[in-house]
Amino acid sequence: MKINGVAIENTFAEAFPMKAARIIVTAANDTWADHAGQAMTGFATSVIACGCEAGIERVLKPSETPDGRPGVSVLLFTMSKKELIKQIQNRVGQCVLTCPTTACYSGLEEGDPIALGKNLRFFGDGYQISKKFGRTRYWRVPVMDGEFVCEEQTRMVKAIGGGNFLILAETQDQALAASERAIKAMRRIPNVIMPFPGGVVRSGSKVGSKYDTLPASTNHRFCPTLKGLVDTALPDVVGAVLEIVIDGLDTDSIDAATKVGIKAACAMGRKRGIVGITAGNYGGDLGPYHFKLREILK
């Protein structure tokens, strides 16, 4: 299979079960909603060392938020319920509660209930008060610019992490340009995030290492500078590889993001240095979700 002259390898991305929550953060204007969202999703590229993988899913219009103000939708992914609860409490407490004018709400109506403002309310030192509308309880915590409003609970759902594809290009500039095109297209797809910086990762990894203390290490078969030293997966013409990792709430969303992302990357074409598209997997034994590139692109 080729798209615009770019070869699509007959392979699959191997992905894994995760837990996820959607948090809605609102503020007085877009600038402060973005500040809170960016801070809340900082240092959240990989569960290997960050505790969670998180990102801004999309920017919300006032008509789309619970309080009629500008906002952002944030998705957080972890490997366990316990870790998700911890990450939400720490990130909302340190990055949203602290940010001027913000409020915080659950972005999911279904799933297992977990704490959102239930514990953060204690920052109010006894001056916090609650309001209940229907079956939903909100906490009002006094802060120096007024009140921080936070829904008591959010919802946790089963999710998927580790969807991916790799862009093989002749040069670093070409790989980066194709990746930027892919991310721009993929950010229009709901229910997914691409958690690495700018949505792109250059340090693709494999499981394990020659050093016993490391759970993962550089994916040497895709490192262009090692082509003469290892059993490389790269043709001679490839000088740079970049990976896009996708976390999603369901398989359909990851399929959709993969499809539009690969097509956008391939729009540059073979004549502009894009050699091929492949994916990272571990033979299919590590993760139960297999995103087969050619089937997705049919």
The parent domain of residue 280 ranges over: 2-14+160-297
Could you tell me if 200 and 220 lie in one domain?
A: yes
273 burial (CB, 10 Å; 0-12 / 13-18 / 19+) is buried
Reading the block at residue 250, the tokens are 């369901």
Domain boundary among 102, 133, 157: 157
pLDDT digits (tens, 9 = 90+) for 92-101: 999 999 999 9
Could you tell me if 152 and 243 lie in one domain?
A: no
H or E segment to which residue 14 belongs? strand 12-26
251-266 vs 172-186: helix axis angle to the nearest 10? Answer: 140
Q: Please say if the pLDDT value at position 284 is more than 90.
A: no
Q: For tokens 């490192």, what's the residue?
A: 223
pLDDT given for residue 204 in this prediction: 94
Could you tell me if 204 and 143 lie in one domain?
A: no
Per DSSP, what are the bridge partners of residue 72? Answer: 25, 59
Question: What CA–CA distance (Å, rounded) separates 60 from 64?
Answer: 6
Q: How wide is the angle at C-alpha 21 spanned by C-alphas 23 and 158, nearest 5°?
A: 160
pLDDT digits (tens, 9 = 90+) for 28-74: 999 999 999 999 999 999 999 999 999 999 999 999 999 999 999 99
Q: How wide is the angle at C-alpha 124 spanned by C-alphas 137 and 68, nearest 5°?
A: 45
Domain boundary among 107, 128, 157: 157
Could you tell me if 188 and 250 lie in one domain?
A: yes
Residues of the chain with pLDDT > 70, as a percent, come to 100
Q: Please say if the pLDDT value at position 282 is more than 90.
A: no
Reading the block at residue 157, the tokens are 């759902």
pLDDT digits (tens, 9 = 90+) for 188-225: 999 999 999 999 999 999 989 999 999 999 999 999 99
Could you tell me if 173 and 237 lie in one domain?
A: yes
pLDDT given for residue 276 in this prediction: 98
Average pLDDT, the chain: 97
Question: What CA–CA distance (Å, rounded) separates 217 from 203?
Answer: 9
Phi first, then psi: give them for residue 99, nearest 5 degrees: -90, 130
pLDDT given for residue 114 in this prediction: 98
Give the predicted TM-score (pTM) of the model.
0.96
Domain boundary among 104, 124, 157: 157
Handedness of CA 250, 259, 13, 198 (dihedral sign): negative
pLDDT digits (tens, 9 = 90+) for 226-261: 999 999 999 999 999 999 999 999 999 999 999 999
Classify 184 as helix, strand or coil.
helix
Q: Domain containing 6 — which CATH number? A: 3.30.70.520
Mean pLDDT (whole number) for 142-149: 98
pLDDT given for residue 286 in this prediction: 81
CB 261 within 8 A of CB 181: no
Could you tell me if 142 and 193 lie in one domain?
A: no
Could you tell me if 110 and 187 lie in one domain?
A: no
pLDDT given for residue 38 in this prediction: 98
Domains contained in the chain, number:
2
Could you tell me if 109 and 184 lie in one domain?
A: no
Could you tell me if 130 and 204 lie in one domain?
A: no
Q: Please say if the pLDDT value at position 264 is more than 90.
A: yes
Could you tell me if 144 and 232 lie in one domain?
A: no
Could you tell me if 74 and 202 lie in one domain?
A: no
pLDDT given for residue 283 in this prediction: 85
Mean pLDDT (whole number) for 132-142: 96
CB 74 within 8 A of CB 25: yes
pLDDT given for residue 141 in this prediction: 98
Could you tell me if 291 and 248 lie in one domain?
A: yes
Q: Please say if the pLDDT value at position 275 is more than 90.
A: yes
Q: Please say if the pLDDT value at position 171 is more than 90.
A: yes
